[in-house]
Structure 1
């Protein structure tokens, strides 16, 4: 088996480690070593180097918002009114129901994901934002592609 690195400096062993962690961030070091074909000390060293290089930024969990009482999700496109960009950004950051937000180019400045318990809660949150921005909201029906790793090897 060749262990050459691709353009991003990830070799086949690193790729196996990242794929195993993406599948289960709580995998034991012993299981991670087995998945990558390494000894436990070698796997630990590889893991440490991936963290040092900033490739692994955190180990996290995937929580189902519906199981926590948030059955509704919305994607909200936000266009702040003139001079309100930083105020709107602060409102989004300070509202815990906004679970994700990207600052983007184009007509809108922010695209955010919002979890809520009810349509009334959605209205209450959007009313706070609407005082400072125009919004366009789409309810999420399903997520056919969950957050996932980008391709780790060069696609041809």
Structure 2
């Protein structure tokens, strides 16, 4: 991940741009400009600036996986056996049903998310890991909070070039 370079303070307009883009990445620059009170060229320049400095990494679609048949999401904590860390990481990367993977501190080395069409798909996906790791699985019932931005302007002195 690219670390932002220091120089110019992020202001309330930048914060509003980030909030609106995080809610609707397909918003047109003219609509975004009218919502934040600037001209479309000014907003376009600010967005380009935020992209160039790694603050906006990408703008993507929010896909409803259930509409595509993936009705269950599982959070799987994975604790590789000694000497198996890199092999387990490669196995996670090779299985396309894993949609997220975080390497973490603590007892587990990985916290992952994967999608399945039904509960019967879970064991065949996880069984190959059991020779190399311990797994602990929880099924996601709902996600009352997802993708919220942290406060952007409370940190004094956070600036970007």
Partner residue in 2 for 1:37: 37
Task: Indicate whether 1:93 and 2:106 are aligned.
Answer: no
Aligned pairs for 1:132-147 (under 5 A) are: 132-147=132-147
Partner residue in 2 for 1:127: 127
Deviation at 1:37, TM superposition (A): 1.0
- The superposition leaves residues 92-111 of structure 1 with CA deviations (integer Å, 9 ceiling, x where unpaired) of 11111100010000000000
Aligned pairs for 1:44-59 (under 5 A) are: 44-59=44-59
Deviation at 1:12, TM superposition (A): 0.5
**2:10 & 2:128 partners in 1: Cα distance?**
44
**2:134 & 2:71 partners in 1: Cα distance?**
25
**1:128 & 1:63 partners in 2: Cα distance?**
28
**2:125 & 2:153 partners in 1: Cα distance?**
41
Q: Describe the SS at the equivalent of 1:106.
A: coil
Deviation at 1:153, TM superposition (A): 2.2
- 5+ residue gaps, structure 2, are 1-7, 156-161
Q: Describe the SS at the equivalent of 1:137.
A: strand
Displacement over 6 Å in runs of 4+: none
Task: Indicate whether 1:78 and 2:78 are aligned.
Answer: yes
Partner residue in 2 for 1:5: none
Partner residue in 2 for 1:112: 112
**2:49 & 2:19 partners in 1: Cα distance?**
16
**1:21 & 1:15 partners in 2: Cα distance?**
10
